Structure 1
Amino acid sequence: MQNVEVTPRVWDRILNVRSARACHCCGSWSPAERAALDLYGPMARRDLGPVTIGQIGQSLDGRIATVTGDARDVSGAGGLAHLHRMRALVDGVVIGVRTALHDAPRLTVRLCSGCNPARIVVDPQGRLPDDAGLLTADDDARRIVIQAVDRPRPERVEVIRLPVRADGRFDPHDILSALHEAGLSSILIEGGGITIASFLEAGLLTRLQVAVAPLLIGGGPQGLTTQSPVARLSDAIRPETRVFGLDTDVLFDCALSPAASEAAQPIHGGPKLVTRRAAPD
């Protein structure tokens, strides 16, 4: 496991990688700074085409909230700071309407420097009220609602109309295509677990990040549950995985496509990064 330290000069470098003014592989860094570049550099790159990243924080026993729905402190300070850094590195952040209504997230960058991403809510039936904080925040970030119904929205809110499937949900392929057409190339699927699982099951995630916090909840919703779970472990997804220490949390960074593996390699040569692929005994 690599322990991550995001010093000001490391974060400046990462933001320069995002704006195509630097690489993530060169320079003299401490081991913990190098780990930070190894973690965030691949997500900051814009030279390898569109990326879609799923990110979820959970407890040791795989829960994302209590039985009463309390999810505020699942991630520790390190996991929360990581989430804000991820927001700063992408063009847009996607959440489902249930998460928007229950957790009232702001989806802004507050724990690091960087620009707020576009805030995107998947809301088939138009349930999100117009006075929701993520729609009314006083900043220049785009705010987008993806809905199936003909429901007007305030002037600053962009509406993407898509058809729903027989189950009342959107096809994740349609969502991603619409966001790309809207000019958003790098997308973070932040929550909730159902929304992330739908993109995972559709094979649309470039990489998946699971941040595990050291607490046991004992009950409540699970992190990821797909609609079609595998019956045999031999059919399970076994991604290439890197493990990082985030002070309070442990992050599993999983490459789900060749593009994710390529992004983690040095741009200017040098030794290849070694990833671990889970395998049966």
Structure 2
Amino acid sequence: MTHLYRQAWPLVRAAADAVRGGNRIENGAQFAFDGQKLEPAASGKQPILAFDHGWRSLLPASDERQVCLDMYLPLIAARTDSPLVLGQLGQSLDGFIATANGQSHFVTGPTSILHLHCLRALSDCVIVGAGTVAADDPRLTTRLVDGPNPVRVVLDPQLRLPITHQVFSDGQAPTLRVRARGVPLPAQLESANVEDIEVDTLAGKLDLRALLAELGSRGMRTILVEGGGVTVSAFLAARLIDRMHIVVAPFVIGEGRPGLRIPSADQLRDCVRPPPRVYALGGDVLFDCDMRSHSPIENAPSIIRKVL
């Protein structure tokens, strides 16, 4: 765990905790930080964050914590505004997230794994597809950072996963298993650790908009779509991703399981081209892309900022 993380993360966590559960904060409010929690800025206390339809740092650019706030604060703002769907993938230079036989532990380095756990801690829920659970048996917890575990949402339309996977059996966090409406639930797949929900289908696939509406009705405002490539690509193709974090590791797999795959445009000018912010995560490079922005790509910051 790096020095910068130790310095910045408590402040990020405090900002997230201040609005967790839908707590409302007045626009224009300013807050000081006592090392554990935010408190209204009063006489003699230096304001460190301001709220104006989302969090804004008041730290000087020279403060080393600023780069972490720059990356993480936009992911907290959604809690008191419209929901935010964040897609995340880690891939090789040649665009693969795993080898041909499915090995993916770990494509990205330890700093990027720490960053992923930070994203989980800032999210109300984390979504993965059945393929990711089958291949990796992930826990989807925040065990590497200080923060609450998100609700784990497993998309298993035809209920092909056994109940022995960790997300269904470890009881570390609430788990929602999503199946296609009308698919019967066998008795051997029932578990006290799992809540099952049904979602309508479109063209044989889960209706992702209906899924997001269901999650929203449960108070989930920041939604992390963690993997795998098929699941993240489906959300992106449906234009449901608000922000995309793609971490590129400096090595070549050669052939394997691809990352993003969406229907192609006929002309390059019609391709999705979100303006990126670029950060160094150890030896990896993170592209933080605002998928809702219409700013010209030329206006995107060009500097690479080291975070962790």
TM-score, normalised on structure 2?
0.78
Q: What amino acid is aligned across from residue 233 of structure 1 in structure 2?
A: L
- Name which of 177, 188, 197 aligns with 1:145: 177
- 1:85-106 CA distances to partner (integer Å, 9 max, x unpaired)? 1000000000000111111010
Q: Secondary structure at the match of 1:187?
A: strand
| Separation in 2, partners of 1:215, 1:70 | 15
Shift of 1:71: 0.7
State the partner residue of 1:268.
Answer: none
Who is 2:59 aligned against? 27
Unaligned runs of 5+ in 2: 19-37, 39-48, 50-54, 303-308
Cα offset, 1:56, TM superposition: 0.2
Larger displacement relative to structure 2 (66-75 or 82-91): 66-75
1:5 offset after TM fit, Å? 6.5
Amino acid at match of 1:15: R
Q: 1:127 to 1:224 in 2, by over 3 A?
A: same
- For structure 1, which runs of at least 5 residues remain unmatched after alignment? 262-273
Letter in 2 for 1:257: R
- Select the residue among 234, 241, 251 that pairs with 1:198: 234
| Structure 2 residue aligned with 1:222 | 258
Q: Do the aligned partners of 2:93 and 2:252 also contact (CA within 8 Å) in 1? A: yes
Correspondence for 2:281 among 246, 251, 258: 246
Identity of aligned residues (%): 38
The 5 Å alignment of 1:121-136 reads 121-136=154-169
The answer to whether the 8 Å contact 1:5/1:33 transfers is no
Aligned to 2:103: 70
Letter in 2 for 1:193: G
1:182 to 196, 200, 218: 218
Q: Any idea what SS the aligned residue of 2:147 has?
A: coil
Q: 1:121 to 1:28 in 2, by over 3 A?
A: same
Paired residues, what number? Answer: 258
Query: What amino acid sits opposite 1:151 in the alignment?
Result: L
Which whole-Å CA distance do the structure 2 matches of 1:11 and 1:246 have between them?
A: 15
1-structure distance, mates of 2:228, 2:168: 18
The higher relative CO (CA closer than 8 Å, separation ≥ 6) is in 1
Q: Distance in 1 between matches of 2:219 and 2:192?
A: 19
- Please name the residue that 1:231 is paired with: 266
Equivalent residue number for residue 14 of structure 1: 12
- Distance of aligned partners of 1:58 and 1:5 in 2 relative to their CA distance in 1, 3 Å threshold: farther
Q: 1:211/1:31 Cα in 2 relative to 1: closer, same or farther (>3 Å)?
A: farther
Give the CA deviation at 1:150: 2.1
Equivalent in the alignment of 1:47: 80
* Alpha-carbon shift at residue 27 of structure 1 (Å): 3.0
1:8 and 1:79 mapped to 2: Cα distance?
Answer: 15
Which of the two has greater strand per residue?
Answer: 2
- CA–CA distance in structure 1, aligned partners of residues 63 and 86 of structure 2: 25
Find the counterpart in structure 2 of residue 81 from structure 1: 114
Alpha-carbon contact 1:52-1:189 (below 8 Å) kept: yes
Q: For the pair shown, which has the larger CA radius of gyration, 1 or 2?
A: 2
Q: 1:214 & 1:156 partners in 2: Cα distance?
A: 39
Within a 5 Å distance, the mapping from 1:251-270 to structure 2 comes to 251-258=286-293
The corresponding residue for 2:247 is 211
1:164 matched to 2:191: no
Cα displacement (A) at 1:78: 1.2
> What is the CA–CA distance in structure 2 between the aligned matches of 1:7 and 1:110, rounded to whole Å?
15
Q: In the alignment, which residue of structure 1 is the partner of 2:300? A: 275
